[in-house]
Amino acid sequence: MPGVKNISPYFMNILIENQDTLEYLMPTGTWTKNPLAGKGFPTSRMALRAAKLEAIGTFNIVCHIPSTNQFVNLDHGRGRGQTPAVAE
């Protein structure tokens, strides 16, 4: 289309954010401060389901808009909690 610039292949990313650390879940299952490296979900509902299975406490489902680096909170909840430490 004339006049439309393609600034990014992704208009927005739906991410799982650890509320305590403000880090984003990556596809590898680890966490990062970089929202561009976070695992994107097609819908907030899918992100919410996945977050509830993670071994984290409270979380946010956020929409990240890379072109402006803006965040929009979509939902929140609680995961399975931290994995308990094994007593020796």
Distance (Å, whole) CA 78 – CA 72: 18
DSSP string across 12-77: -EEEEEETTTTEEE-TTS-EES-GGGSPPBSSHHHHHHHHHHSS-SEEEEEEEETTTTEEEEEEEE
| Confidence (pLDDT) at 11 | 84
List the chain domain ranges.
13-78
pLDDT reading at 3 higher than 80 = no
Query: Which token pair is 16?
Result: 């799982």
- Note the pLDDT tens digit of each residue in 58-81: 999 999 999 999 999 999 999 887
pLDDT reading at 5 higher than 50 = no
Report the predicted TM-score, pTM, of the whole model to 2 decimal places: 0.79
